[in-house]
Structure 1
Amino acid sequence: MANGRKSWWLVFLMVGVSSLAWGQELVFLAPKSQTMPLADFQGDRLVDGIVKDLSEAIGARLGLPVRFLAMPSKRLAKALADGEADGVCYVLPLWIDGNFHWSRPLIPTAEVIVANPPAPQLRQLTDLAEQPVGTVLGYRYPLIDAALGEHFRREDALDMGLLFAKQRLGRTRYAIVDQLSLSYHMKIDPKLRLRSDLVLSRSVNRCAFSRNSKVPIKSIERAIDALVADGEVERILGRYR
């Protein structure tokens, strides 16, 4: 009798735990300023890219469906802090203010200053003083801010794709771009001729998770560790190289 009661409670607990997961979803923020290979949008719907694939892989390991919430970059920190979403991928602590759970480093890249071929070669950051520099609206550039101060002349584009379009048309001579995006756009656009003049920084981007998320951070960490261990993160990156 005691064994029967114990078995009954075990089944009850298992069903209860499963029931808690039913109806749950993992909500990721999708910054509208990101373009391929990171993200491709149709309206406000994220349809392709590294960020989509990585976020969905995390959800699959947790057994949860993933929903994406598209928004401007400048709203990410507040939305995550307020618990509007569980997480956002391809970010660094330097980029968003707030007290978040941070994943292990996942996606290596670099921040590069590129130039149209006729532009003079840059030797140092101060060469950009008073020159219009292609930037993305809502993005932070602390190294350039520190080096140039009030002499930093931003020419904002709404997203990285439009920034590359402006460079191809010669609207600006210099721009600050992500190495992943640079390699991708140079590959798909034969008319895009850009010279890499300076590497501003190298980093390995992460995912940030809200402290208000209902999904335990330890479960998320285990899911990400498993994705790295079995090579899935590298396979995702390989699709876009």
Structure 2
Amino acid sequence: MPVAEFKENRLVGGIIHDLIERLSQRLDVPAQIQVLPRNRVELALKQGEIDVRCYISPKWIANSEEYLWSVPFIQQRDLIVARSASEQLSSPDKLSGQSIGTVLGYTYPRLQQLFDHGDLRRDEARNQELVLQKLLAGRYQYAVSNELALEWFNRDLPNTDHLVNAGILEEEPVSCLVRNDPALPAQRILRTLLQMKESGEIEEILARYR
């Protein structure tokens, strides 16, 4: 959360859920939401098993030529997160020699060279919330988190326990991709997403989780 909430392997809430539900209502077409393991998603895209995927950037996936991209609807900001405001970082290079909390299977382009050279070690957890819980418990000094997840995590903590932004790692606009297939109303889907963006509907959804 707040990007996605799962129960018993079903998507039941969060930004992606609400966005797809609203898009489905606008199109008057029922949505069939698939929940796949992260390492299965790229293969499903390649095999044409996914019609629409939201909250994604072209930089995060390979082989997306068969898909069209919607207008970006939010700026994803990845942060280096710490337990104290005194642990600000002027550069990711200052992390050299440490372990950092990361999500299993996620890529972090700004840090990849440090990982490749062994200058920085990944301490991985299954999801973003677990990464932040381990940081709060002192398992490591720094972790990577997107800004929305950090704000959501801090909501139920006393102010004295809030995790803090120690430095912006990178920013990337995120969109929805739509399979470019004559059997699909791809242009209609893209137009509808644009209308939702321009009308403020998407911002309405995002505001629920801020």
Q: TM-score, normalised by structure 1?
A: 0.79
Counting aligned pairs with the same residue, the percent is 35
User: Who wins on radius of gyration, i.e. which is larger?
Assistant: 1
- Residues 206-237 of structure 1 show CA distances to partners (whole Å, capped at 9, x for unaligned) of 11222358322101111111211221101101
Give the length in aligned residue pairs.
206
- 2:83 counterpart residue number: 116
- 1:129 counterpart residue number: 96
Equivalent residue in structure 2 for 1:217, among 176, 180, 186: 186
Partners of 2:39 and 2:187 lie apart in 1 by 28
Partners of 2:163 and 2:146 lie apart in 1 by 13
- Residues 82-124 of structure 1 show CA distances to partners (whole Å, capped at 9, x for unaligned) of 1222121111111111122111101123110011229743221
Q: TM-score, normalised by structure 2?
A: 0.91
- AA matched with 1:128: L
> What SS class does the counterpart of residue 66 from structure 1 fall into?
coil
* Residues 1:74 and 2:42 are matched in the alignment: no
- AA matched with 1:113: I
Partners of 2:199 and 2:171 lie apart in 1 by 25
The answer on whether the counterparts of 1:54 and 1:233 sit within 8 Å (CA) in structure 2 is: yes
- AA matched with 2:106: Y
**Structure 1 unaligned regions, length at least 5:** 1-35
- 1:172 counterpart residue number: 140
Partners of 1:118 and 1:65 lie apart in 2 by 46
> What SS class does the counterpart of residue 155 from structure 2 fall into?
helix
CA RMSD of aligned residues (A): 1.9
**Structure 2 unaligned regions, length at least 5:** none
Equivalent residue in structure 1 for 2:162, among 182, 185, 193: 193
Structure possessing the higher relative contact order (Cα contacts under 8 Å, 6 or more residues apart): 2
- Residues 37-64 of structure 1 show CA distances to partners (whole Å, capped at 9, x for unaligned) of 1111002111110000011111111111
